């Protein structure tokens, strides 16, 4: 299964969080994602102006393990798995503060903080979702506050376990990092929930909002006591440091979840072989011409010299045309980059990616149907006003290797792709265009109208349920799903993104 979460990351970047979720009964889990990007021709994006290297400069990909999933109230329970593992690692460290125990203690802090962050985020999203009944929101908020208080209390109580002479200040600092991070996350999600309740404007939510406010005030007082950073309304430099510190803490907590994927060119050996064949074909032509006309005109004659020069000119063209042909054949069969997915020096799978411009005639009909379904204007389909970029990705995950990583059960990997659209904005008109018309009193009036360009992205997601690695169309066990997103752009960046269903 492939989960997709799409959002605007910043003014110039779209984020696609692709979750490749494995089936535990299958050792081999294979996925493919085709991202069809329909760019208006007026933006001047083509294979001549926008190369593969330009595209990969605009695409940033981070691959990480999916955080083990627990409910927030489950973590808060005294017998919760993350809490038990945390305490056990603390007790082992206090009794035997070796490097191995220290590493396990630090790992459990990171995992506990990451799991709490994920669970808190899911709880926040659930409370704010449309599927939750109105009368349940207050109870859910109360449960959220209680669970957060219990988690913070249990984590802070665990500090007494390692408060011993054998544990150094540097080792103890890991606990403070986790404490600061969890506190910040709880506050952040609490503020977002209050914002949601305020937007509802219902008086019946006042008690829920007050409970969340109480939690935030408690954490602010605690953070000041512990000398953690607290947002200031009149100290920009302090806030800058606070934001930087949280970013560093986030990277620290999630460092054991991120994977190492050093990329290298796919099909490099085959490419060199084909290019050698191209050079050999060109040399064969030049040699045959040279031998043939040498026998006819002799070694040191003007006609032979002219023929020799012409043959070498044609030889170079044959070489370049052959290289172009072979490169095209390689591009259609191989990917641009490939990498092994490594976690703690363990290879858990592989990933490949490729990018090409695709002519409209070669875009599959099912992709065209998704692209033009619910179009803004009926004329859209008739004007063929798109250049089509295909970004394809193939992922293989070894479920057995994934299970060996740790005693936490991760369901797969997240591939977080950020597409920067700066290159698409260069030839756009001004974000506001003045349009003149006649007012009711007969005078001229000028209205500033938004100038918007629409870029459509169709995601085609394939998953082989047979465990044989067959992602071809003829596979009866191939599960395929389509999603379409309409991105509104102007010269200032991304205006909006919406899923078209």
Residues whose CB is less than 8 angstroms from the CB of residue 346 and which lie 6 or more positions away in sequence, other chains included: 401, 404, 405
* Range with the poorest average pLDDT among 62-71, 219-228, 329-338, 392-401: 329-338
pLDDT digits (tens, 9 = 90+) for 176-186: 999 999 999 99
Q: Please determine, for residue 384, whether its predicted confidence score (pLDDT) is greater than 80.
A: no
Q: Do the Cβ atoms of 421 and 13 come closer than 8 Å?
A: yes
pTM above threshold 0.95:
no
Determine contact, residues 242/228, Cβ cutoff 8 Å.
no
For 226-250, the three-class secondary structure string (H helix, E strand, C coil) is: CCCCCCCCCCHHHHHHHHHHHHHHH
Q: Cα separation of 425 and 491, whole Å?
A: 6
- The DSSP string of 103-145 is HHHHHHHHHHHHHHHHHHHHHHHHHTSTTS-GGGHHHHHHHHH
Q: What is the pLDDT of residues 299-322, one digit of tens each?
A: 666 776 677 667 766 666 666 556
Cα 147-152-158 angle, rounded to 5 deg: 125
Considering only 151-155, 158-162, 231-235, 424-428, which range has the smallest mean pLDDT? 231-235
Q: Are strands 346-358 and 337-343 parallel, antiparallel or unpaired?
A: antiparallel
Helix (H) or strand (E) holding 215: helix 206-225
| Cα(305)–Cα(314) distance, integer angstroms | 14
Q: Identify whether the C-beta of residue 493 lies closer than 8 Å to the C-beta of residue 463.
A: no
Size (the chain), residues: 501
pLDDT in tens, 195-218: 888 877 666 778 888 889 999 999
Tokens of 487: 């991105």
């Amino acid at each position: 299964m492939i989960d997709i979460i799409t959002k605007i990351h910043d003014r110039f970047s779209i984020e696609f969080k692709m979750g490749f979720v494995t089936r535990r009964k299958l050792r081999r889990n294979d996925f493919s994602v085709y991202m069809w990007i329909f760019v208006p021709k007026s933006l001047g994006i083509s294979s001549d102006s926008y190369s593969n290297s330009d595209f990969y400069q605009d695409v940033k990909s981070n691959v990480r393990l999916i955080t083990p999933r627990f409910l927030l109230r489950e973590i808060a329970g005294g017998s919760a798995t993350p809490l038990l593992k945390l305490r056990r690692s603390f007790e082992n460290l206090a009794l035997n503060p070796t490097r191995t125990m220290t590493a396990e203690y630090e790992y459990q802090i990171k995992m506990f903080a990451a799991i709490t962050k994920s669970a808190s985020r899911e709880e926040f999203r659930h409370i704010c979702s449309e599927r939750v009944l109105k009368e349940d929101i207050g109870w859910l908020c109360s449960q959220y506050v209680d669970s957060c208080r219990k988690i913070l209390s249990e984590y802070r109580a665990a500090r007494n376990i390692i408060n011993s002479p054998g544990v150094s200040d540097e080792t103890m600092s890991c606990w403070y990092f986790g404490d600061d991070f969890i506190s910040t996350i709880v506050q952040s999600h609490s503020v977002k929930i209050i914002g949601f309740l305020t937007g509802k404007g219902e008086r019946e939510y006042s008690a829920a909002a007050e409970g969340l406010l109480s939690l935030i005030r408690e954490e602010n007082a605690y953070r000041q006591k512990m000398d953690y950073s607290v947002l200031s309304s009149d100290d920009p430099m302090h806030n800058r440091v606070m934001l930087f510190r949280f970013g560093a803490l986030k990277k620290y907590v999630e460092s054991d979840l991120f994977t190492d994927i050093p990329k290298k060119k796919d099909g490099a050996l085959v490419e060199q072989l084909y290019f050698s064949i191209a050079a050999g074909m060109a040399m064969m032509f030049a040699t045959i011409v040279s031998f043939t006309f040498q026998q006819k005109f002799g070694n040191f004659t003007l006609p032979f010299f002219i023929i020799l020069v012409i043959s070498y000119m044609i030889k170079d063209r044959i070489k370049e045309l052959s290289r172009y042909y072979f490169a095209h054949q390689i591009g259609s069969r191989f990917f641009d980059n490939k990498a092994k997915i490594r976690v703690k020096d363990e290879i858990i799978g592989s990933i490949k990616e490729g990018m090409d411009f695709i002519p409209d005639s070669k875009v599959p009909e099912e992709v065209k149907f998704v692209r033009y379904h619910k179009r803004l204007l009926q004329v859209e389909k008739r004007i063929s006003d798109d250049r089509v970029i295909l970004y394809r990705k193939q992922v293989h995950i070894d479920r057995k290797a994934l299970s060996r990583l740790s005693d936490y059960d991760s369901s797969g990997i997240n591939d977080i792709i950020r597409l920067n659209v700066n290159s698409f904005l260069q030839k756009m008109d001004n974000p506001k265009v003045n349009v003149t018309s006649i007012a009711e009193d007969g005078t001229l009036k000028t209205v500033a109208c938004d100038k918007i360009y629409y870029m459509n992205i169709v995601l085609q997601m394939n998953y082989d349920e047979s465990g044989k690695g067959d992602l071809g169309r003829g596979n009866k066990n191939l599960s395929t799903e389509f999603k379409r997103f309409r991105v509104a752009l102007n010269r200032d960046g991304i205006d909006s993104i919406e899923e078209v269903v």
